[in-house]
Structure 1
Amino acid sequence: MSCSHSVVLLNNALKIAVMENGDLSLIQLCLDKEKRDITESVIAIYQNELNLLSDVVNLLVKRAVFHKQISSVDELTKLTTELASYCADVSRKLNDRRS
């Protein structure tokens, strides 16, 4: 796999890396409790930025539900809107770095 030249960290749980060929890599960060170290696992590699950002919003919403950070439809709506806006900002940063 090609090494990335641009990386954006999302909520200390996910990372998006721009690959040398321009593809986008979605990486999950996990804590290895035995080694007390952060491990990285590639979830997927994308050519389409919109698909990547859709998956990021979905994964972060699922994470919030799992960790009981949201518990109502109103909270879900608010979080989804915030994450979509956040992802739009990330997208702009990535596009600036890719240019």
Structure 2
Amino acid sequence: MSNRRIIVKNWYAVSKLNGSFVLADVKHDKDTGAVSYPTVAIYSSELKLISDLINLMVKRAIFLKRVNNANELLKEINHCGELCQTAMNKINNIEG
């Protein structure tokens, strides 16, 4: 059982708890500097977690205007997929 969080893009945190995957936001308190990790969702499937995480990161990149056209969108999707794969490799290595 792991309680270590893997931070992805400084926006989300992924951890594994009792065989399930936990997706959390990374929240920074501007006044105190404290960091909190409110849970977004719990997944029994690694694939569903990755799918949702890619979707959330791409939406945020579009909202922040870091993605402005279809070519940038494809690059961002690929980049987010690579980040998710790296995070899952770390989570699974922690467990193994």
Q: Same fold (TM over 0.5)?
A: yes
Larger strand share, 1 or 2? 1
Letter in 2 for 1:16: V
Q: TM-score by structure 1 length?
A: 0.86
Aligned partner of 1:37 in structure 2 is: 34
- Which residue matches 2:55? 58
Give the letter aligned to residue 6 of structure 1.
R
The runs of 5 or more residues in structure 2 that have no matched partner are: none
Q: Runs of 4 or more off by more than 6 Å in structure 1?
A: none
Q: Secondary structure at the match of 1:5?
A: coil
Distance in 2, matches of 1:66 and 1:22, equals 33
Equivalence for 1:12:
10
In 1, are the aligned partners of 2:22 and 2:41 still within 8 Å (CA)? yes
Identity of aligned residues (%): 30
Q: Which has the higher contact order (CA 8 A, sep 6+)?
A: 2
The residue number in structure 1 matching 2:83 is: 86
Give the deviation of 1:38 after TM superposition: 2.3
Cα deviations across residues 4-48 of structure 1 (Å, max 9, x unaligned)? 4332011111000111x1211101012233444322210001110
CA RMSD of aligned residues (A): 1.6
Unmatched segments (≥5 aa) in structure 1 = none
Total equivalences in the alignment: 96
Do the aligned partners of residues 35 and 6 (structure 1) sit closer, same or farther apart at CA in structure 2, a change above 3 Å counting?
closer
Amino acid in the other structure paired with 1:27: A
